[in-house]
Amino acid sequence: MKSFHPPQRTLMGPGPSDVSPRVLEAMARPTIGHLDPVFVSMMDEVKALLKYAFMTQNELTMPVSAPGSAGMETCFVNLVEPGDKVIVCQNGVFGGRMKENVERCGAIPVMVQGEWGRAIDPQQLEEALKANGDAKIVAFVHAETSTGAISDAKTLTEIAHRHGCLVIADAVTSLGGSPVKVDEWKLDAIYSGTQKCLSCTPGLSPVSFSDAAVEKIRNRKTKVQSWFLDLNLVMGYWGANAKRAYHHTAPINALYGLHEALVILEEEGLENAWARHDKHHLALRAGIEAMGLQFVVPEGERLPQLNAIAIPDGVDDARVRGMLLSDWQLEIGAGLGAMAGKVWRIGLMGHACNARNVLLCLSAMEDVLTRLNAPVKKGAALEAATKALG
Ligand SMILES: *Cc1c(COP(=O)(O)O)cnc(C)c1O
């Protein structure tokens, strides 16, 4: 065996996205003890930076030491008690995972089934809440990475609160790419991931909990069934004025990486980061449409950071992605769940969201698709995208 040297790819799938060299360099710095006072003060900075990213004053804001799925699980196992009724809005793959979580908590999921590729319909949530007066929690995915649709988190939360429910929101793909305003929208529990628009390596999940959520967690009748994710215990390590007693060994170097990724986000400014995602999405869109390909999600419900493109009839999905990878060192995503084989998912996330990648992706797609005799218009995409970039 020899050392492993990965190839240099361009990551334009649903995550992980390209990691900034600044983040990789930060992660290569010396490992120190996780209770070292210098490390503990860095943890405080990570918490402050996450509050900035989530636009919240929530005291309980921190990264869970595991990927986005563990952030999801942290929200459910802490807030849901056996027998609780939980309304789950589903418009893609990740809403299905929320249902799984509810069931495994011994609770009762009530599904609001939306159309895949569309935003969640607030009216449908309203009706489900009217029919289920005893529901305690509403859960939804803000940015459905499996379809590329964004939902109106503010309106969904208003409706849930009007019916006396707490809200759990998945912001894995939205954070850093689209507005996520935890305090203004009054979200109660939210989780994200590091490898999407934060452009850090995978393996951490930023979470934030409102005072109402913390109160519910403190007053549980039953113990949280997961020892590792029980926030009552984790708070002793990450909490404000906590004694920083040993709970688990923090992934020290991964946290250096997150710290750097958040410093980069703060330097750019949230509003500028959102505007950059919008701008490059529009340029990609101009090129894609000039080529004769089509978006799956209707305009107005599209995520700028995740572009689902319909695969033309007769085109071999896996072959196209394989050629993009081998000939162009470019990774784009396949369809997931009900959309498998029907769409490509092109990510423009964080550090990967730039003009070079838009033009690279369009050139590579045009090259591969014309070589495979797919029905695309040649020579129009780059001009359209360049014009949109201004
Ligand atoms: C990627 C993703 C997750 C899961 O995150 P992992 O880090 O892969 O565990 C959850 N929800 C959404 C919407 C995602 O895009």
Span 217-221, average pLDDT? 95
Domain positions in the chain: 20-267, 270-389
- For residue 313, what is the DSSP state? T
CA distance 310 to 383: 21
Ligand 1 atom closest to 144 (CA): 13
Considering the segment(s) 270-389 as one domain, its CATH architecture is Alpha-Beta Complex (3.90)
Neighbouring CB atoms inside 10 A of 170's CB total 28
Which residues, in sequence order, are CB contacts of 131 under 8 Å at separation 6+? none
Provide the 3-class DSSP secondary structure of residue 129.
Answer: helix
Q: Which residue has the higher pLDDT, 201 or 245?
A: 201
Res 26 pLDDT > 90: yes
Name the residue at shortest CA distance from atom 5 of ligand 1.
Answer: 68
E strand or H helix at 105, and its extent? none
Q: Give 20-267's CATH code, choosing from 3.40.640.10, 2.60.40.1840, 3.20.20.60, 1.10.3720.10.
A: 3.40.640.10
Q: What is the pTM of this model?
A: 0.97
Res 245 pLDDT > 90: no
Span 58-63, average pLDDT? 97
Instruction: Find out whether the beta carbon of 141 lies less than 6 Å from any atom of ligand 1.
Output: yes
Instruction: Find out whether the beta carbon of 94 lies less than 6 Å from any atom of ligand 1.
Output: yes
Ligand 1 atom closest to 306 (CA): 15
Instruction: Find out whether the beta carbon of 68 lies less than 6 Å from any atom of ligand 1.
Output: yes
Pocket test for ligand 1, best of 99, 172, 205, 207 (most atoms within 8 A of CB): 172
Span 183-204, average pLDDT? 98
Residue-level pLDDT at 244: 82
Same fold: 20-267 with 270-389: no
Tell me how far the alpha carbon of residue 140 lies from the centroid of ligand 1, in angstroms: 13
Pocket test for ligand 1, best of 147, 173, 201 (most atoms within 8 A of CB): 173
Span 174-181, average pLDDT? 98
Residue-level pLDDT at 143: 98
